Structure 1
Amino acid sequence: MKFSKMISAALVVMITTASAFAQTADEIVTKHIEAIGGAEKWKALKSLEMKNKFSVQGMDIESKTVIVSGKSLRTEVSVMGQDIITVVDGETGWTVRPVMMQGTGAPEDMPLSMVRETRKQLNLGGSLIGYKDSGSTVELVGTEKIDGADAYHLKLTEKNGDVSNIYVSTSTYYALKTSGKRKVQGQEIDAEVTYSNFKPIEGLIFAHTMETPSPMGGSMTIETESIKLNPKVDEAIFKKPASK
């Protein structure tokens, strides 16, 4: 009897594993997009405003990001009464960094490599939505454990050769983690973000907790305080001000 149960259990595992790998990368991407609200709803999202908070070395930091889908982004980070501003507007970008953070306090042009990397955030809903239209390809690498949960490991290769690893839950089809190598100020770094605390907003699913390795060591947790969909945006906020 025990032997029969063991055989039955083994068959269940084998069938489950076989069905997991029977899915193609395209099928997983389709289920992921459906799980987070569907392509049509994401395409109907024209703008977004998000407020986050996190702590670094005991300092409480707040940020606000405004995005116009496919076009512009502005992020303001408040640190010790000083504002760091990052803006991408079309194919160009600019930043303001306080003197205390090795900046000039005046608007500076953003390096094109940083503009290109920041522009990826303009694709609301993530890089898997419409990836074929942008010339990217997706490959199913296998399955892995992410914080104890089973996840499909998808390899996204962009038209320019950049590679991102996206880990999609086998049960919810939410993206649990992304990773890849990125160039920042001429140096190649490992960019990694883990997502959790998923909540629906007007039918779209957003991760409200993001964890990423901290430059200071350990990890940094970013909590989302609020998200507004389709707010009215004054596009003048994306224009680079004249230097004083």
Structure 2
Amino acid sequence: MKTLRLFTTTILLLVFGAFANAQTADEILANYFENTGGIENWKSIEGMKMTGDAGFGPQSFPFVQIMMTDGRMRTEVDLQGQKFIPQAYDGEKMWGMNFQTMAAEEVDSETATNYKNNEANDFPDPFLNYKEKGYQVEYMGEETVEGVETYKLKLTKNKLISDGVEEDNFAVYYFDKENFVPILSENTMPVGPQKGMKVQTVYSDYQEAGDIFYPYSITTKFNGQAGQSIKIESIEINPSVEEVNFSMPTKE
């Protein structure tokens, strides 16, 4: 009987412990959305148009990015006066320009599928309605990051496909304990030419964007080396956007 009681107590502790963890993660996210404008303002976002500069090493290029909640998106970069679209999605087809020929080309099926199953759901924030997306969030404890006390949350998204094989897809986010905003995320690239690389993304310079607050500076490192830096100059919420912006140009 003593063994049975001990077993039952252990099971109850595990169940309630898991419940407490889930509650802690959801409480952190509730504070995050509340501190950055309120959950209803986040839910009211249907689209966003960002302008700024994208840095790659010593070079920097102006860019315009449009993102919609239905997954449609377009990124346009100004390469010394020449328009270059590295990626776009019209709701069905994902495409981008070939850097050598500057011609629009449809991306491979795995890249398109991975986008549709994950990034297409992430805007305006991957944590927003995460359960409806099939994602999971786990509280991982606390950690000090460069002098800042943070909460750690592990976000597990839908699996990715790499050469026909499913790969786990997750990242750990560090939320500033004082302001409840993400200041850092870490993950290992599961697919693509950078597969296996350790990725660190730093979020800073939170400013108003309509009725929410958004990081206007986003810096990414690969294996500890400087990769890409994004400096946002302006954000327009729910912009008027024509469908042609997302459509792949037809060959003449």
Identify the residue that residue 240 of structure 1 maps to in structure 2: 248
Q: 1:57/1:24 Cα in 2 relative to 1: closer, same or farther (>3 Å)?
A: closer
- The counterpart of 2:107, out of the listed 84, 98, 110, is 110
Q: 1:24/1:210 Cα in 2 relative to 1: closer, same or farther (>3 Å)?
A: same
- Give the letter for the 1:88 counterpart: Y
The sequence identity of aligned pairs, in percent, is 25
Q: 1:137/1:235 Cα in 2 relative to 1: closer, same or farther (>3 Å)?
A: same
| Number of equivalent positions | 220
- Give the letter for the 1:105 counterpart: M
- The counterpart of 1:210, out of the listed 202, 213, 218, is 218
SS at match of 1:218: strand
Shift of 1:50: 0.1
Q: 1:22/1:98 Cα in 2 relative to 1: closer, same or farther (>3 Å)?
A: closer
Under a length normalisation based on structure 1, what TM-score does the superposition of the two structures give? 0.80
| Residues 73 and 122, structure 1, Cα contact 8 Å, conserved in 2 | no
Identify the residue that residue 6 of structure 2 maps to in structure 1: none
- Whole-Å separation in 2 of the counterparts to 1:66 and 1:207: 16
Indicate yes or no: 2:216 matched with 1:223: no
Identify the residue that residue 60 of structure 2 maps to in structure 1: 60
Q: 1:207/1:225 Cα in 2 relative to 1: closer, same or farther (>3 Å)?
A: same
Q: 1:122/1:89 Cα in 2 relative to 1: closer, same or farther (>3 Å)?
A: farther
Per-residue CA deviations over 1:68-96 (Å, capped at 9, x if unaligned) read 21230000112233333110222430000
Identify the residue that residue 13 of structure 1 maps to in structure 2: none
- Whole-Å separation in 2 of the counterparts to 1:22 and 1:139: 7
Indicate yes or no: 2:38 matched with 1:31: no
Per-residue CA deviations over 1:3-37 (Å, capped at 9, x if unaligned) read xxxxxxxxxxxxxxxxxx99711211111121222
- Whole-Å separation in 2 of the counterparts to 1:189 and 1:243: 36
Shift of 1:129: 0.6
| Residues 92 and 112, structure 1, Cα contact 8 Å, conserved in 2 | no
- Give the letter for the 1:90 counterpart: G
- Whole-Å separation in 1 of the counterparts to 2:49 and 2:63: 11
Moved more, 119-128 or 26-35: 119-128
- Whole-Å separation in 2 of the counterparts to 1:126 and 1:141: 20
Q: 5+ unaligned residues in a row in structure 2: which ranges? A: 1-20, 160-167
- Whole-Å separation in 2 of the counterparts to 1:127 and 1:170: 19
Identify the residue that residue 9 of structure 2 maps to in structure 1: none
Identify the residue that residue 140 of structure 1 maps to in structure 2: 139
| Residues 45 and 124, structure 2, Cα contact 8 Å, conserved in 1 | no
| Residues 209 and 221, structure 1, Cα contact 8 Å, conserved in 2 | yes
SS at match of 1:236: helix
Identify the residue that residue 71 of structure 1 maps to in structure 2: 71
Q: 5+ unaligned residues in a row in structure 1: which ranges? A: 1-20
Per-residue CA deviations over 1:140-189 (Å, capped at 9, x if unaligned) read 11112233211111011123241111111111011111222231248343
Moved more, 185-194 or 145-154: 185-194
- Whole-Å separation in 1 of the counterparts to 2:224 and 2:141: 32
Identify the residue that residue 170 of structure 2 maps to in structure 1: 163
| Residues 72 and 122, structure 1, Cα contact 8 Å, conserved in 2 | no
State the superposition RMSD in angstroms: 2.5
Q: 1:80/1:97 Cα in 2 relative to 1: closer, same or farther (>3 Å)?
A: farther
Per-residue CA deviations over 1:204-227 (Å, capped at 9, x if unaligned) read 011011111269943543211111
